[in-house]
Amino acid sequence: MTVGEVREKVERHGARAVARDAVAAIAEKDAKVGAFLEVFDDVQAQADAVDRRLAAGERLPLAGVPIALKDNILVRGKRVSAASRMLEGYVAPYDAHVVRRLKEAGAVLIGRTNCDEFAMGSSTEYSAFGPTKNPHDPSRVPGGSSGGSAAAVAAGMVPLALGSDTGGSIRQPASFCGVVGLKPTYGAVSRYGLIAMGSSLDVIGPFAATVADVALLYRTIAGHDPCDSTSLPPEGHPSRAHHERTHPLRIGVPRDLLGEGMDSRVAQVFEEALAALARRGHEVVDIALPAARHALAVYYIIMPAEASTNLARYDGVRYGLHVEGADLWEDYLRTRQEGFGPEVKRRILLGTYVLSAGYYDAYYRKAQKVRRAIRREFAAAFATVDVIATPTAPTPPFRLGEKRDPLSMYLADVFTVPANIAGIPALSLPMGSVEEGGASLPLGMQCMAAHRNEEVLFHIGEELEAHHAASR
């Protein structure tokens, strides 16, 4: 389902009819998938308001287009929980910047999608409200943490969805579900109204079935916001940014990164996709990114450090859950004990450890140094290539319950984490599939580009799409 198709339907039948069909499609399909935590009760009223704006002659780029939001993005007056008991029943007091942009553009906010608790995880199994299933094979995970958003688009319930990406949470589920997902440049999209995980890494980004729709949604939500101190300055707004669509493209493949842990079928489909791009006239070259090998280790120091700090605010007094103890101290302890799930507690422990006196220099400060080296390494690489390509994930979607050991779950992000460490944009798009157990399991290719060069990603994405369309 594309935005163009939906907009045509809105023109013929009105936003009200489109919204009604979207809610019906979710009612029919989501029983098997479990992508949604809530379908909003005012969908029809939102659609009616869009119809009135259209009748008044307003031009709305997303008129009546249904969109799903990950359960860590605030919509004024709606519940938001980050899929955690800690925030069960919490109602958002204001709109996220991206939500304001969506409302202005005439989109219809359909509901909240499931995710790993506080966006920590790669399978959506760490949600306090039960897992989401992969629409291509319900015995498998949709990826995570934005698994609900990816699955909702993949199952054809909505044409658009938003997720957030701290270490891969948009790209890896996009890969597992066979849809397109973009992690924008850090700061290109405001974090105002996003429940914070790792504040120097977090970014909100789009999911859709096509590259063009991902680009459209990205342009709707990107731009400067004075409410986010790390928001990029106004000249970075996509409509004014200089658009670099060099053709043919020079595509760098970091062979040294791709060695360990990669499923051989993923490697084969990746090579085929590269060969297809080469046949379309693009140049594929090997590059080396020796520092990026350390990105996962750096990530698992910086992210828990920031997450443990961000999660300190959930004390049972100011937000959501409150568990009464004998005194204030015991209130804190019992609330945090009962409110947070095991993975969140693990990250708080890791983060508190690496920030503690005596370990700060050995871990946190050192990780920041390596982070700077990784940034420099990417900047240097983009002086010689337009795009860096890897598979999005080392494996096809895995089975529910398969990764019991936290470290094996962390390894699902080896290819996606470097872009967050460097702050650069990265796109995941379908590159093929593997057959297993009677199901066709999607695989994604990740393309990374230089700071703020989302345009080149849309270009290579459309090239790969054109190849798939031609070979169909």
Residue 428 touching ligand GLN (CB under 6 A):
no
Of 48-56, 159-167, 223-231, 262-270, the segment contacting ligand GLN by CB under 6 A is 159-167
Q: Which of 167, 206, 351, 444 lies at the binding interface for ligand GLN (CB under 6 A)?
A: 167
Nearer to ligand GLN, 246 or 408 (CB): 408
Interface map 386-425 toward ligand GLN (x if CB under 6 A): ---------------------------x------------
List the structure tokens of 186. 């850090």
Determine which residue in the list 46, 81, 132, 166 makes contact with ligand GLN, applying CB under 6 A: 166
Binding ligand GLN (rule: CB under 6 A), the pick from 81, 113, 122, 132 is 122
Asked about 145 being catalytic, the answer comes back as yes
* Cβ–Cβ under 8 Å, residues 446 and 171: yes
**120 near ligand GLN (CB under 6 A):** yes
Task: Give least dist CB 420 to ligand GLN, A.
Answer: 7
Applying CB under 6 A, the span of 83-91, 114-122, 290-298, 391-399 interacting with ligand GLN comes to 114-122
Q: Does 117 bind ligand GLN (CB under 6 A)?
A: no
List the interface residues with ligand GLN, window 285-304 (CB under 6 A). Answer: 303
Question: Closest CB to ligand GLN among 335 and 416?
Answer: 416
What the block records as the tokens of 242 is 């200089």
Q: How many residues bind ligand GLN (CB under 6 A)?
A: 13
Q: Is 231 in the site for ligand GLN (CB under 6 A)?
A: no
Site string for ligand GLN, 66-105 (x = CB under 6 A): ----------------------------------------
**Which residue in 119, 253, 301, 443 binds ligand GLN (CB under 6 A)?**
119
Q: Which is nearer to ligand GLN, 66 or 394 (CB)?
A: 394
70 is a catalytic site residue: yes
Minimum CB distance to ligand GLN smaller for 65 or for 201: 201
CB of 426 to ligand GLN, least distance (A): 12
Nearest approach, Cβ of residue 243 and ligand GLN (Å): 27
Based on the residue annotation, tell me whether 139 is a catalytic residue of this protein. Answer: no
- 121 forms part of the interface with ligand GLN (CB under 6 A): yes
Binding site for ligand GLN (CB under 6 A): 119-122, 145, 165-169, 197, 303, 413
Q: What residues act catalytically?
A: 70, 145, 169
